Amino acid sequence: MPNRLDLPAGFRWGASTASYQIEGAVDEDGRGPSVWDVFAARPGATKGGQTGRIACDHYHRYGEDVALMRGLGLDGYRFSIAWPRVRPAGDGAVNPAGLAFYDRLVDELLAAGITPLPTLFHWDLPQALEERGGWLDRDTAYRFAEYTETVADRLGDRVPAWITLNEPFVHMVYGYALGIHAPGRTLMLDALPAAHHQLLAHGLAAAVLRERGREVLIANNLTPVRAASQSPADVAAAAAYDALHNRLFTDPLLLGHYPDLSAYGVAEDLGGCVRDGDLELIAGPGLDGLGVNYYNPTRIAAPTEPGLPFAEAPIDGVPRTAFDWPVVPDGLRELLTGLKARYGDALPPVTITENGCSVADEITPDGTVDDRFRIDYLAGHLDAVAQAVAEGVDVRGYFTWSLLDNYEWAEGFSQRFGLVHVDFETQRRTPKASYAWYRELITAHHALHVR
């Protein structure tokens, strides 16, 4: 069986973070408020009322954090740019101090030999745009394209590849359908325009980046969907869930049309928001890479009550993370080979843009963090990637979630995903055992495949 050391020459090793989860400094140097500042301030919205006001204080400590990345020997670093730092009101005036921060970060990365891989939107929409409808409003897509121009003009000379959006599925469902994340709307299926407008934003921004000769990726949260049984009702429910979670975001990008959502009573124009020409824009000339964020598979059964056409079924008999997510490394192989089977030559090269686990990590009296659970998780998933590659999937890199313990959205600081432990009182960084393990793996792989 191929394993992680068999990953191909040139395979890129990285780590991921996101602006609101690590930066802090929410009202410094002209940053405008984001939907997350407003949502997290609502009583009861997040665990313990915790916010990203300080988070990992990365805005001030980025130098130390890049040094940690250099210590790992990373090839690439995926971070996100906070739109409200660059254009505090969403459109209108550009904030030079906000752009200057990312300029410094990019230079620091390049000096450390690390290729920056920025994501342009990881959920922190300027609040001013939310007040005009947020992603329910088509206009937000055009504002995103303008913001992309601003950032690409400033950083594009040093940044070869860009990720437009992070997980439009999770943002739509948690932010607009269920109200668990910012902006906290509970629209259920009426949230679907937020999917289309995010994809439209991707298409418009992709054109801006391509004009400048840059590569374009998008990072989708994808899950292999397993039917709870082979009964026709469970199989149909699994197909319905797959259409919503996976196909809604990959079919238009790779095939140029939306999937069949008739199980939801929704037509292919998603309630009328799809206009002529939109799908051509979304698919464009094709992606340079598909970013895949994978955490676990999903098991689906037929619904037992009226409402949605599926019900989630438990996955038993496997280890679980601190978040209670099931650990199924082979689900990543299944996902990747399934994408290849579904899209064939229309599937661009894949990069794993997120994968990792939360562990209740503690610093022991001798000052170390022994996160053996995380090491096993990462090793298992990387072996699964190597197996998918052996089965013919073109996977170019792996960016683990996350470099640092950070602000895990509605869960506050309760879920630690980092290779580096962060004490949120003192901001002290302590590399965990998984940090040393990842460094050794990267070194060994580089040595095997001399670049």
Work out how close the CB of 123 gets to ligand FCB at its nearest, in angstroms, rounded to a whole number: 7
Is 268 an annotated catalytic residue?
A: no
The one catalytic residue among 130, 167, 334, 408: 167
End-to-end CA distance of the chain: 24
Q: Which of 4, 7, 14, 18 binds ligand FCB (CB under 6 A)?
A: 18
Q: Taking contact as CB under 6 A, which single stretch among the options 65-73, 166-174, 180-188, 378-386 is the one that binds ligand FCB?
A: 166-174
Contact 355, 321 (CB under 8 A): no
Q: Which of 46, 164, 220, 221 binds ligand FCB (CB under 6 A)?
A: 221
Please spell the DSSP secondary structure of 165-185, one letter per residue: EE-HHHIIIIIIIS-SSTT--
Work out how close the CB of 13 gets to ligand FCB at its nearest, in angstroms, rounded to a whole number: 19
Is 440 an annotated catalytic residue?
A: no
Cα dihedral 248, 351, 76, 435 in deg (nearest 10): 100
Which CB sits closer to ligand FCB, 102 or 399? Answer: 399
Q: Which two tokens stand for residue 259?
A: 């999937």
Q: Which of 354, 371, 383, 405 binds ligand FCB (CB under 6 A)?
A: 354
Q: Taking contact as CB under 6 A, which single stretch among the options 162-170, 188-196, 283-291, 384-392 is the one that binds ligand FCB?
A: 162-170
Q: Does 37 bind ligand FCB (CB under 6 A)?
A: no
How many residues sit in the footprint of ligand FCB (CB under 6 A)?
Answer: 12
Q: Does 162 bind ligand FCB (CB under 6 A)?
A: no
Q: Does 144 bind ligand FCB (CB under 6 A)?
A: no
| Residues between 168 and 187 that touch ligand FCB (CB under 6 A) | 170
Of 84, 117, 338, the closest CA to residue 214 belongs to 117
Which CB sits closer to ligand FCB, 11 or 121? Answer: 121
| Residues between 275 and 304 that touch ligand FCB (CB under 6 A) | 293
Q: Taking contact as CB under 6 A, which single stretch among the options 67-75, 89-97, 125-133, 163-171 is the one that binds ligand FCB?
A: 163-171
Contact 191, 176 (CB under 8 A): yes
402 prior amide bond cis, ω within 30:
yes
Interaction mask 407-426, ligand FCB, x per CB under 6 A: -xx-------x---------
Distance CA 165, CA 220 (A): 8
Query: Running DSSP on this structure, what letter comes out for residue 320?
Result: B
Work out how close the CB of 182 gets to ligand FCB at its nearest, in angstroms, rounded to a whole number: 12
H helices within 259-399, ranges in order?
A: 278-283, 330-343, 372-390
Task: For the chain, give the longest Cα–Cα distance.
Answer: 63
Q: Which two tokens stand for residue 63?
A: 């130098």
Rounded to the nearest 10 degrees, what angle do helices 433-448 and 372-390 cross at?
30
Of 24, 119, 75, 79, the closest CA to residue 402 belongs to 79
Q: Taking contact as CB under 6 A, which single stretch among the options 65-73, 164-172, 384-392, 432-440 is the one that binds ligand FCB?
A: 164-172
The one catalytic residue among 108, 130, 334, 354: 354
Please spell the DSSP secondary structure of 216-243, one letter per residue: EEEEEE---EEESSSSHHHHHHHHHHHI
Which CB sits closer to ligand FCB, 175 or 309? Answer: 175
Work out how close the CB of 353 gets to ligand FCB at its nearest, in angstroms, rounded to a whole number: 9
Angle, vertex CA 424, rays to CA 418 and CA 429, nearest 5: 55
Interaction mask 380-409, ligand FCB, x per CB under 6 A: ---------------------x------xx
Residues classed as catalytic: 167, 354
Contacting positions for ligand FCB (CB under 6 A):
18, 21, 166-167, 170, 221, 293, 354, 401, 408-409, 417
